[in-house]
Amino acid sequence: MSALELADWRPVGGGSICRVWRADTVDGRAVIVKKAPYDVAVEADGLAALAHAGAPVPGVLAAEGDRLVLEAVGGPPDWDALGEAVAHTHAVTASAYGWHRDNLIGELVQPNAWHADWPAFFYAQRIAPFLDVPGLPGDLRTRLQRAGSGPLARLLPARPPASLIHGDLWAGNVVEGRWLIDPAVNYADRELELAFAALFGGLPPAFWQAYQRVWPLPAGWRERRPALQLYHLLVHVAHFGSGWAGGVADRLDALGW
């Protein structure tokens, strides 16, 4: 950060977590500066992994403490290209599920301990850490615990490809219809990524058509999707309160759990 000389700082919208400015370097390049309530090394790590896989992400120019400097990106929307790029990113795989460090999903710690079994990882790292969050009724906690004792393992495949995923893919983390930002990367079943992307809508048909053209989803994805959406719904309960618990109940009801 100290090696970059920046001028003409202008505040821009940065969501509810970070403060964000647009600025210029002394040689005229436009950059984005984020001030975060966390160590930005975790975000820089995720962006670097996605960039190495060929995903369209802004370049990291500096990462120091709570300040992250990114290249400013733009251009016309290209949802078709983004769908293809996400599919190709998912084709980068590991031998297990997890990541080399815990990172963040929003403001929350996202645990990423390695597991060789996908249902075991999903329950231990994506469901169990959120069972005690304020706003989750006790009956839903019990139902989720019961799901982890058997139903999840019967529904989810044991060893689907452990794909590199963005981890927080929704329309709010896509810039100009072509660039990915704010990752929560890990290796997981790619269906988890797409289940969240479908949760709120916002990604147009061109994205989905392009993704399916490159790497079609396997049979049974519709039946598995409600279970996989439980994770991000629990994250929303933790972030925003009990108003999101109804979505958890709806998915459990749909699954007969």
Residues with a known catalytic role: 168
Q: For residues 96 and 144, give the distance between their C-alpha atoms in angstroms, rounded to a whole number.
A: 24
Task: Mention every residue, 6+ apart, whose C-beta is less than 8 A from residue 205.
Answer: none
Q: For residues 216 and 203, give the distance between their C-alpha atoms in angstroms, rounded to a whole number.
A: 17
Are 162 and 97 contacting, i.e. CB atoms less than 8 angstroms apart? yes
Q: Check residue 152 and report its DSSP letter.
A: H
CA 162 to chain centre: 15
Are 205 and 212 contacting, i.e. CB atoms less than 8 angstroms apart? no
- Within 10 Å of residue 125's Cβ, how many Cβ atoms? 22
Task: Mention every residue, 6+ apart, whose C-beta is less than 8 A from residue 231.
Answer: 122, 126, 127, 130, 192, 196
Name the helix (H) or strand (E) containing 67: strand 67-71
- Give me 122's structure tokens: 């999903």
Q: Check residue 74 and report its DSSP letter.
A: -
